[in-house]
Amino acid sequence: MFRLTKTVLHRLHGRFNGHQQAWRLRSSSAREKALEYQPGQKIHGFTVREVAAVPDLCLTAVKLTHDKTGAQYLHAARDDSNNLFSVQLRTTPRDSTGVPHILEHTVLCGSEKYPCRDPFFKMLNRSLSTFMNAFTASDYTMYPFSTQNGKDFQNLLSVYLDAVFFPCLREQDFWQEGWRLENEDPTNPSSPLVFKGVVFNEMKGAFSDSEHLYAQHLQNKLYPDHTYSVVSGGEPLAIPDLTWEQLKQFHATHYHPSNARFFTYGDLPLENHLKQIQEEALCKFDRINPSTEVPSQPHWSSPREDHVTCSPDALAPDPIKQNTLCMSYLLGDITDAFEGFTLSLLSSLMVSGPNSPFYKSLIEPKIGSDFSSVVGYDGSTKEASFSIGLQGMAEQDTERVKQIINQTVDDIIENGFEDERIEALLHKIELQMKHQSTNFGLSLASYIASSWNHDGDPVELLRISDSVAKFRQALKENPHFLQDKVRYYFKENTHRLTLKMSPDEAYLEKQAKAEEEKLQEKISALTDSDRKEIYEKGLELLETQSKTQDASCLPALKVSDIQPTIPFTAVQMSTAAYVPVQYCEQPTNGLVYFRAMCSLNTLPEDLRVYVPLFCSIITKMGCGVLDYRQQAQQMEMRTGGMSVSTQVIPDSTQMDTFEQGVLLFSSCLERNLPHMFKLWSDIFNSPHFDNEERLRVLVMMGAQELANGISYSGHMYAMTRAGRHLTPAGELQETFGGMEQVKFLKRIAEMPDLSQVIRILPRIKKHLLNPENMRCAINATPQIMTDSATELEIFIKDVAENRKERKPVRANIIKKPLDPQDDLGPSRKLITEPNFQPCQMKTFFQMPFPVNFVSESIRAVPFCHQDYASLCILARMMTAKFLHGEIREKGGAYGGGARMGGGGVFSFYSYRDPNSVQTLSAFRKGVDWAKSGQFSQQDIDEAKLSVFSAVDAPVAPADKGTSRFLSGLTDEMKQSYREKLFAVDHKSLVEVAERYLGVGQSTCGVAILGPENDTIKKDPTWILK
C-alpha cells in the first residue's frame, strides 16, 4: 500500500487520537518486568542501550542494538494484549519508477522458507491478526502486524522476517505486482498489447485524485535536490521504466539489517522476540554501510513559484472555482523532538478551528471552499514543512490569497495567541494521552517512524509531558516565544514555495495520450519473437494465477485455538428522570464517554435528506450566549469533542425493520462533566441557526469534503447504491451517506441564498432533539459513575422544555425492550415495512477517474438468522480463495471481494479496478465456484479464522456495550452467533450459495462508479447518472 505521508500520518495531536491500550485485569507486570533490564546487558546477540519508564503512556521503553549488524531495536513494554511487531527500512529512491513500492508488494509474494505464492494474503486467513499490512512512505518502508495470540505472533513474525530479508522476488511476481506488457485478452495473441500490473493501476488511481496529486507535487518541488523530488510510490508513466534487475538490486542494498529498525510493543516477553529475530534472520548477515542517509535540502536564497494542472471535478461545489493555491515553508530537522513539538503546536494554533487566525482570514471570507489538501505542520520528511492555502478558489483571487497569507503572518507576529487557545490545545494533548484505544502499538510505530528513520531518538518523542513542561517554561521565560518562531520560520524564511493547481479540461485526455505514447514506444521496440514471448509469458502468468496453490508450508492457527466463548460486558439499565440510561463501568483512565440516541420517527419525510447537514452544523453554529467561536473554544477547553451523526440500524431479526436516529457523542475529563452537559443543554435549548455566513462556510467545506472522498471510498458509495432498493434501511442509507447525499450537498452549496435552509433547520431540531424520544449511555470508571448520573439528571431537567409527544410519520412501529429481561420497561421504536417490495436496478455514475469501483449487492438474511453465519464465512472464503485471484491478480484491480453486511445484504465489490462489466462476470463466476463446492475443509477453517479475527478484534473501554446500546445486540446474541460460526460446514456453505446467490434466487442491485463506458451506454438495462 502506498502511503503519501502528508495526508495519512496526521500530525502529532491527530496521531494520538484514540490510541491506547486494550485493558485487562492483571498486575502491571510487563511494564515492571522491563524495568529490570540493564544498559550493557547482552541478550540473544543484542545489547541493551537504554531503559526508560514513560509513565505518560503507561509503558517502559527498552532500546537495543544488534551487535553483529548494527540493526536498531525499540521495545515498548505495556500491559496490552494486542502485541505489535514492525520492521522499517530506510528506502530512498532516486527515480519515480516506484521501486520501493513495487518491492513492498513483491517481497510479500513468497520467500525462501515460504515459497508459496502470496503468503501475505494467505496469512490473513491463517491467523487471528488484528492488523496486517505494509506501507511505502517517501523515505521508508514499514511492515507491521499485530495480534492478541502469542502463538500467532511467532507465526507472523516468522513469515514477515522471511519475506523482508529472504524474498523470492520472482520475475512473474514483479510482472503481476509491478507492471507488464500483455495482450488485453491474454488468451488471444492478436488482441492489443496494454500495460497491466497491480501497482501500475493503484498509482493511476492515486494520481487521478487531485488532492493526492497536489500533495505529491508540493513535496517534490519543495525538496527538489534528493529523494523527496521523486515519487516513491511510482509515477504511472515512469513505472514501465523499472526492470526486474533494478528491483532485485534495490532489495540487496536497502533491505539489510544494517538499514533496519525493529519495533515491538505489548505484553509478550522481549527475550522471545529477540531470540526469534536473531535465529531466523539477523545471524545470517554481517554489517554493511547502507549509505541511505538523506542529506539536508540546500536552502533557497529566494522564494519560488510553480504551477501544475489536474482533472476538473464534476462534483465540485462551484464549477468555476476549482483552483488550489498554497504556500509551503521548509522548517527544521525533525530529529529535534522539542522543536517538532513546538512547531506542530504552533501549526494547530495557526490553522485549527474557527478561532485560528488563518481560518478567520482565509476560510471565513469564502474565497475558497476549504484549506488546501495539504495544510499545517508535516513532520514526515527529514526536514519538516508547514503549508497554508486554499482549494476551491477562483483564478482571479490568486494575488489576494498570497497577500492574505503574508498579512496573517504579520498579524500573528504582532498579536500572538490568546492564553485560552494555548491551554485548550494542551488540554487536548492531555486527553489524547489518557484516551485508551485498541491499536495503540500501531499508532506508536507510525508516530516514531519518521524521526527514528533519520536517527532521531524515539524515546524522547514518547516523553510528551516533558515537552509540555518545557513548552510552558519557554513561554514563561519569553512571552513572545511563539511569535519569534513565526518570524523566524515564516516571515524571514526564503525557502518558500507557492504552488498553484488549476483544472485542465483536457487533463485526462493528455494523461491517456501520454500513456498511449509510452505504450507505443515500448511496442515499437518489439520484434516478432518478443511479441511471441510476451504472449507466452502472459499465458504462463494466467496459468500460475489459476492454479490451486499449496500453502501447506505456511504456519497456521487452528479453529481450536479460538476462544469458544466471549467475555461478557456488564451493563446497568436505569433511568435519568424519564430517559432510559445504560451505565457501563470501564477502566477509562478518568474520562467519561457520553452517548445519546435520538429517534427520527416523527420527522416529516421530505426533511430527511437534510439530516446529515443538520448533524454536521448543530455543534458548530453557536448556542446559548456563545457565538460559534466561543462555542468551539469551550468545546476544546472542556471536552474531547462533541459530535452528532446519522444512524440507520437494521433490525437483527427482520429484514424490513430498522431504527433511524441521530447519535450524540462526547467525552470529557471528570472535572469537566458539568461543563460538557451545559454545552449539550445549550445546543438543545438555544442553538443558533441564523448566521447565514457561517452556514455557507460549513456547507462549502462539507460539499468539498464529500467530493474529495469519492476517489478513496468509491467502493463504499457503489455498495451503498447497489443495496439501495433491496431493503427499506438501504434506501435511507443512500439518502444519508450515498451518492444522493453528495449530489444534494453540492446543490445546497450552489444556492445563492441559504435562507430556505435556515428555515428548515429549527424544524428538524424540534423533532430530533426531543428528550421524549431519547436514550443515553455512559461509560466511565466506577468512581465517576455517581457524579455522571447526577450531572445527566440535571441535563435532562435542563432540556425538559423540548419534551413533546409527537406522532410518528409512519404507521408501522414496533417496540423492542431495551432490556431483554424487562418486557415492560423502556423500548426502542423501530420502523417496519411489512409490504416492502425489493427491486433490481443497475446504476452507472460517470466520474473523472481512470479506474472503476464496481459493486453487486444481494438481499439475504438478518443477523440472527440461521444462515447469516454461513454467509459471513462464505463471503470471506470467496474473497480469499476465488475473487482475490480473479479481480486483483488477473484483473489488476487494487482490491476486491465479497462481504456480508449487518443489514442482511451480501455485497461484491472491487476497488480501483481497470475493468467494469468484466468484474461483474467475475462475481458471477465466484457464485458458480461456491455452488460447485470445490473447496476443502482447510479453506473453510481459514475463512473461520479470518472472520473470528474481525469478530474478536479488541474493543476500547470507551466503546464497550455500544452494540447493545445502539442495536440491541446482547452478549447472548453474540455468543449464539459465535456458536453458529463454529458450526458452519461444507454442506451449509453450498446450500446458502444456492439459496441466496444463484441467478433467479436473488434480488440484486448493481452500481459502478467509473470513467466513460461505451458498453454500458449502449446497454438499455443501465441507468446513467
The 3-class secondary structure across 53-84, one letter per residue, is: EEHHHCEEEEEEEECCCCCEEEEEECCCCCEE
322, pLDDT greater than 80 = yes
Active-site residue set? 104
Half-sphere exposure of 535 (CA within 13 A, CB side): 13
Question: Is 1013:844 a contact under the CB 8 Å cutoff?
Answer: yes
- Which residues fall within 8 angstroms of residue 961, CB to CB, at 6 or more apart? 569, 571, 582, 584, 777, 779
Looking at this protein, which amino acid is placed at residue 285?
Answer: F
Provide the pLDDT for residue 28.
Answer: 54
228, pLDDT greater than 90 = yes
Q: How far apart are CA 71 and CA 68, in angstroms?
A: 8
Provide the pLDDT for residue 739.
Answer: 96
DSSP 354-372: TTSHHIIIIITTTSSSEE-
Provide the pLDDT for residue 435.
Answer: 85
Provide the pLDDT for residue 999.
Answer: 72
221, pLDDT greater than 70 = yes
16, pLDDT greater than 90 = no
Span 739-748, mean pLDDT? 96
Provide the pLDDT for residue 856.
Answer: 97
26, pLDDT greater than 50 = no
Q: How confident is the model at residue 1 (pLDDT cuts 50, 70, 90)?
A: low
Ramachandran sector of residue 283 (left: φ over 0; alpha: ψ -120 to 50; beta: rest) = alpha
Span 485-509, mean pLDDT? 95
Provide, for the chain, the percentages of residues in helix, strand and coil under a 3-state DSSP scheme, each rounded to the nearest 5.
45, 20, 35
4, pLDDT greater than 80 = no
- Which residues fall within 8 angstroms of residue 19, CB to CB, at 6 or more apart? 432, 435, 437, 439, 440, 442, 443, 444
Q: How confident is the model at residue 269 (pLDDT cuts 50, 70, 90)?
A: very high
Q: Which residues of 283-313 are buried (b: 16+ CB within 10 A; e: fewer)?
A: eebeeeebebebeebeeeeeeeeeebbbbbb
Question: Is 584:777 a contact under the CB 8 Å cutoff?
Answer: yes
Average confidence score pLDDT of the chain: 93
The 10s digit of each residue's pLDDT in 419-465 is 999 999 999 998 888 888 889 999 999 999 999 999 999 999 999 99
Provide the pLDDT for residue 192.
Answer: 95
Q: How confident is the model at residue 13 (pLDDT cuts 50, 70, 90)?
A: very low
The 10s digit of each residue's pLDDT in 67-111 is 999 999 999 999 999 999 999 999 999 999 999 999 999 999 999
The 10s digit of each residue's pLDDT in 943-1000 is 999 999 999 999 999 999 999 999 999 999 999 999 999 999 999 999 999 999 987 7
Q: How many CB atoms lie within 10 A of CB 357?
A: 17
Span 276-302, mean pLDDT? 96
712, pLDDT greater than 90 = no
Question: Is 943:900 a contact under the CB 8 Å cutoff?
Answer: no
Provide the pLDDT for residue 118.
Answer: 84
Phi, psi dihedrals of residue 36, rounded to the nearest 5°: -80, -15
β partners of residue 46: 43, 66
Residue with grid cell 479453506, as numbered in its chain: 939
The 10s digit of each residue's pLDDT in 27-67 is 458 999 999 999 999 999 999 999 999 998 989 999 999 99
Question: Is 783:586 a contact under the CB 8 Å cutoff?
Answer: no
234, pLDDT greater than 50 = yes
Q: How confident is the model at residue 882 (pLDDT cuts 50, 70, 90)?
A: very high
Closest CA to 1011 of 842, 847, 845, 844: 847
The 10s digit of each residue's pLDDT in 545-565 is 888 778 889 999 999 999 999
Residue with grid cell 494554533, as numbered in its chain: 349
Provide the pLDDT for residue 156.
Answer: 97
Provide the pLDDT for residue 525.
Answer: 94
Q: How far apart are CA 831 and CA 441, in angstroms?
A: 42
Provide the pLDDT for residue 809.
Answer: 87
Provide the pLDDT for residue 821.
Answer: 83
Question: Is 634:626 a contact under the CB 8 Å cutoff?
Answer: yes
Provide the pLDDT for residue 8.
Answer: 29
The 10s digit of each residue's pLDDT in 894-911 is 999 999 998 999 999 999
Closest CA to 163 of 203, 123, 127: 123
Provide the pLDDT for residue 6.
Answer: 32
The 10s digit of each residue's pLDDT in 184-211 is 999 999 999 999 999 999 998 888 888 9
Q: How confident is the model at residue 750 (pLDDT cuts 50, 70, 90)?
A: very high
